[in-house]
A and B are shown apart, each in its own frame.
Chain A
Amino acid sequence: MEIIKRPGGAMANRPLHFFWLADCSGSMYGEKIEQLNYAIRNAIKPMQDVAADNPNAQVMVRAIKFSTGAQWHIATATPVEEFKWDNLTSNGVTDMGLALQLVAEQLDVSQMPERCLPPVLVLVSDGQPTDDFNAGLAALMSKPWGKKSVRIGIGIGQDVDLEVLQKFIGNPEVKPLQANNAEDLVKYIRWASTVVLQAASAPASQVKDQVSTGVVPIPQAPIASDVEADDVW
């Protein structure tokens, strides 16, 4: 019989709710949506590793897809250890505002546990909203958990409306990331699901003069790679 060596349980921690908000509009059709699927699948293991190395957080993942309307892609908050990604398909318009409405509902105090780490929202899009984005953003920001969320915006290709992503982020010191090729997308998605995840729960060593306004300090994002001609969208 293995004797218990010491009493007590694991160190106390808090849930951290992580939301993907993925653009599935018609313009994402083809390579873009497949590259997004690939980039997210690629980020699962690193995300799980970061979570496993972080005793302060219990990471729960959900995902919203938006095109004509917005729906839950992963509706139940899933422990990151069990997080799997079913590929998205694309067609329709870009109802980004509705996606923000949908996530806002879940960030209502009545829907959230009493104590949490700041939620993390990662918005990925290649275009501009076709619906009332401002109304969606207002709904999100009307929720205390929405205001306290850490928001990251990743743009795909040249047609993305960076201004909209910047508005979503709501912190002038954190810029939207623009992925011009598949490699950058992989890098940015991975950064959002590891470095940002870590920053929101157990900030790493504080580098002097790093971005420190906002909900939590966000470490510097990776730098875009040199663009190779055949890899450009």
Chain B
Amino acid sequence: MSTLLQNNQIISGELTQQSYSIDTFLGAGTQGEVYRAQANGRDVAIKWYFPHYIQNDLQLRQRLENAIRKGSPDNNFLWPLELVTQQNNNTSFGYVMPLRPNNFKSIVDLMRRRAEPSFHALISACLALSESFLQLHAKGLCYRDINFNNVFFDPNTGDILICDNDNVDVNGATGAINGTPRFMAPELVRGDSPPNTESDLFSLSILLFYMLMLHHPLEGKREASIRCFDQSAMNKLYGTEPLFIFDPQDNSNAPVVGLHDNALVYWVLYPQFLRDVFTRAFTTGIEDQHGRIRENEWRVILINLRDSIFYCRCGGQNFYDSDSVKNGENQKCWACNHSLVYPPRLRINNAVVMLNHDTKLYPHHTDQSQKFSFATQQAAVIRHPQDPNRWGLQNLSTNAWTITLPDNSIKTVEPQRSVNLTAGIGINFGNTVAEIQV
């Protein structure tokens, strides 16, 4: 229900003098209301501020003007495009931004299980988030309010969109928003320090944990012992006495069966390297700002995590954990409980890429000088056209590969040709070498 603007009302752009016609109301937040609007047959979104909010946030206009001038850090932000004002009304103003398409769902939908991405799509969304926040932070900016309601994702593809960019400011600037409870770093909850890049990184770790585990990393026994979950309880849990539910040194805040089941289910499902990084994020990273996990580390971890997905014959996506394989553990599928059979895999330096029926390799995998590039497919797992029992890795790049067979003989794999997925074959992609393991 809208309270500020009416249907068909015309407001005008400060930069372009464009007239925007207000269409439907999309939603309200703490700072204002968001509407769909049209200009020249094009759909956009317009956020219009509550007059009382503007009075509390004196830097707002200046901050928005800066953001508009600098432009979006990348394509995943619903970034302010221009300010809008209304004739004969100077009590408020707003800004135009791209409209979020309907295929994007909120993180709340993910938490309530109204959006069900595959692990692959979910991890892609986590990766895209880390990359976009890296772009924003690299520009010297601070986001200040990473939370459930400001991030959207496409459950089919893992594409993401980040909205509510009106609090973004130069790192260190004083702003009006301190963050959202449950996401704020402990030093912010305690009021010890204002938001900065490091507190954004803490919030990002919380969001990633929520997305991957559907649970908050600090809500264990201590949460269970609280009857009324009010402000003082939150201050304690997230501010003065934060303790990771899987702290290896202190199990006094462990998850409680029946209350925190998602944490218990998901924690053991993922590989050790993911548990290790979350453990650092919420042990050393909890009090020490220097201990926060940075986006470029998340990128590596999340790509490795996505590359470790393989399929059970029931279709369930599981994770290959080289640590548990080394320990000779018998891994069962979480979906059907059958013992899992590992597909062939490719070891590239310290990373393992599962060679599933649908695996593709990108420059990130095949070219050391192009880490994090997923621009073009460089290789794909394919089935032999005549012999359905034979699988290979097809060269989709423009360069020949050199392969070393187990008997040390050397062959070339020209573009479009394929190499058998046979144990012990080494592949030299050019400046990167890999080995097929079965």
Task: Please give, as numbers and ranges, the residues of chain B lying within 8 Å of A145 by CB-CB distance.
Answer: 228
Contact of B122 among A6, A52, A190 (CB under 8 A): A6
User: What's the nearest-Cβ distance from chain A to residue B146, in Å?
Assistant: 10
Is B92's beta carbon under 8 Å from chain A? Answer: no
A14 to B226, CA, bound (A): 11
Task: Please give, as numbers and ranges, the residues of chain A lying within 8 Å of B215 by CB-CB distance.
Answer: 11-12
Those 9 A-B pairs whose CB atoms lie nearest each other, nearest first:
A55-B111, A11-B111, A148-B228, A3-B315, A206-B178, A8-B262, A204-B30, A8-B265, A203-B181
Of B31, B179, B228, B335, which is in contact with the most chain A CB atoms at under 10 Å from its CB? B228
Task: Please give, as numbers and ranges, the residues of chain A lying within 8 Å of B182 by CB-CB distance.
Answer: 56, 202
Is B149's beta carbon under 8 Å from chain A? Answer: yes
Question: Are the C-beta atoms of A209 and B56 separated by less than 8 Å?
Answer: yes
Question: Are the C-beta atoms of B214 and A11 separated by less than 8 Å?
Answer: yes
Is A219's beta carbon under 8 Å from chain B? Answer: yes
Is B316's beta carbon under 8 Å from chain A? Answer: yes
Task: Please judge, given known A-B contacts A11-B111, A115-B227, whether A206 and B184 are in contact too, CB under 8 Å.
Answer: yes
Question: Are the C-beta atoms of B228 and A117 separated by less than 8 Å?
Answer: yes
Question: Are the C-beta atoms of A9 and B228 separated by less than 8 Å?
Answer: no
Task: Please judge, given known A-B contacts A55-B148, A118-B228, A144-B228, whether A190 and B177 are in contact too, CB under 8 Å.
Answer: no
Contact of B231 among A7, A55, A217 (CB under 8 A): A217
Task: Please give, as numbers and ranges, the residues of chain B lying within 8 Å of A45 by CB-CB distance.
Answer: 1
A206 to B317, CA, bound (A): 38
Q: How many residues of A contact B (CB 8 A)?
A: 45
The 0/1 profile, CB within 8 Å of B marked 1, for residues 1-28 of chain A is 0011111111110100000000000000
Question: Are the C-beta atoms of A222 and B3 separated by less than 8 Å?
Answer: yes
Is B85's beta carbon under 8 Å from chain A? Answer: no
User: What are some 29 contacts across the A-B interface (CB < 8 A)?
Assistant: A3-B335, A4-B316, A5-B119, A6-B116, A6-B119, A7-B269, A8-B265, A10-B112, A11-B111, A14-B229, A55-B112, A55-B148, A190-B1, A203-B181, A204-B30, A205-B145, A205-B147, A205-B177, A205-B179, A205-B180, A206-B179, A206-B180, A206-B184, A207-B57, A207-B176, A207-B177, A208-B176, A215-B230, A216-B231
Is B74's beta carbon under 8 Å from chain A? Answer: no
CB within 8 Å of B: which residues of A?
Answer: 3-12, 14, 45-46, 52-56, 114-118, 144-145, 148, 187, 190, 202-209, 212, 214-217, 219-220, 222-223
Question: Are the C-beta atoms of A206 and B177 separated by less than 8 Å?
Answer: yes
Interface residue SS majority, chain A: loop
A156 to B260, CA, bound (A): 44
The 0/1 profile, CB within 8 Å of A marked 1, for residues 223-246 of chain B is 010111111001000000000000
Question: Are the C-beta atoms of A55 and B179 separated by less than 8 Å?
Answer: no
User: What's the nearest-Cβ distance from chain A to residue B364, in Å?
Assistant: 25
Question: Are the C-beta atoms of A118 and B176 separated by less than 8 Å?
Answer: no
Question: Are the C-beta atoms of A54 and B108 separated by less than 8 Å?
Answer: yes
Interface residue SS majority, chain B: loop
Is B173's beta carbon under 8 Å from chain A? Answer: no
Is B118's beta carbon under 8 Å from chain A? Answer: yes
User: What's the nearest-Cβ distance from chain A to residue B271, in Å?
Assistant: 16
The 0/1 profile, CB within 8 Å of A marked 1, for residues 112-124 of chain B is 1100111100100
Is B288's beta carbon under 8 Å from chain A? Answer: no
Question: Are the C-beta atoms of A3 and B1 separated by less than 8 Å?
Answer: no
The 0/1 profile, CB within 8 Å of A marked 1, for residues 97-110 of chain B is 00000000010100
Task: Please give, as numbers and ranges, the residues of chain B lying within 8 Å of A190 by CB-CB distance.
Answer: 1
Question: Are the C-beta atoms of A11 and B262 separated by less than 8 Å?
Answer: yes
Is B372's beta carbon under 8 Å from chain A? Answer: no
Question: Are the C-beta atoms of B118 and A10 separated by less than 8 Å?
Answer: no
User: What's the nearest-Cβ distance from chain A to residue B53, in Å?
Assistant: 8
A204 to B224, CA, bound (A): 23
Question: Are the C-beta atoms of B260 and A118 separated by less than 8 Å?
Answer: no
A78 to B180, CA, bound (A): 29
Identify the closest chain B residue to A216 (Cβ): B231
A222 to B224, CA, bound (A): 35
Question: Are the C-beta atoms of B30 and A207 separated by less than 8 Å?
Answer: yes
User: What's the nearest-Cβ distance from chain B to residue A194, in Å?
Assistant: 8
A214 to B108, CA, bound (A): 27
Task: Please judge, given known A-B contacts A206-B180, A219-B30, whether A115 and B226 are in contact too, CB under 8 Å.
Answer: yes
Question: Are the C-beta atoms of A118 and B229 separated by less than 8 Å?
Answer: yes
Is B261's beta carbon under 8 Å from chain A? Answer: yes
Is B300's beta carbon under 8 Å from chain A? Answer: no
Task: Please judge, given known A-B contacts A55-B148, A222-B3, whether A216 and B177 are in contact too, CB under 8 Å.
Answer: no
B166-209 interface (Cβ within 8 A of A): 167, 175-182, 184
A57 to B4, CA, bound (A): 28
A55 to B234, CA, bound (A): 16
User: What's the nearest-Cβ distance from chain A to residue B261, in Å?
Assistant: 7
Contact of A8 among B30, B181, B266 (CB under 8 A): B266
A142 to B1, CA, bound (A): 38
Task: Please give, as numbers and ranges, the residues of chain B lying within 8 Å of A208 by CB-CB distance.
Answer: 56, 175-178
Is B71's beta carbon under 8 Å from chain A? Answer: no
Question: Are the C-beta atoms of B227 and A114 separated by less than 8 Å?
Answer: yes
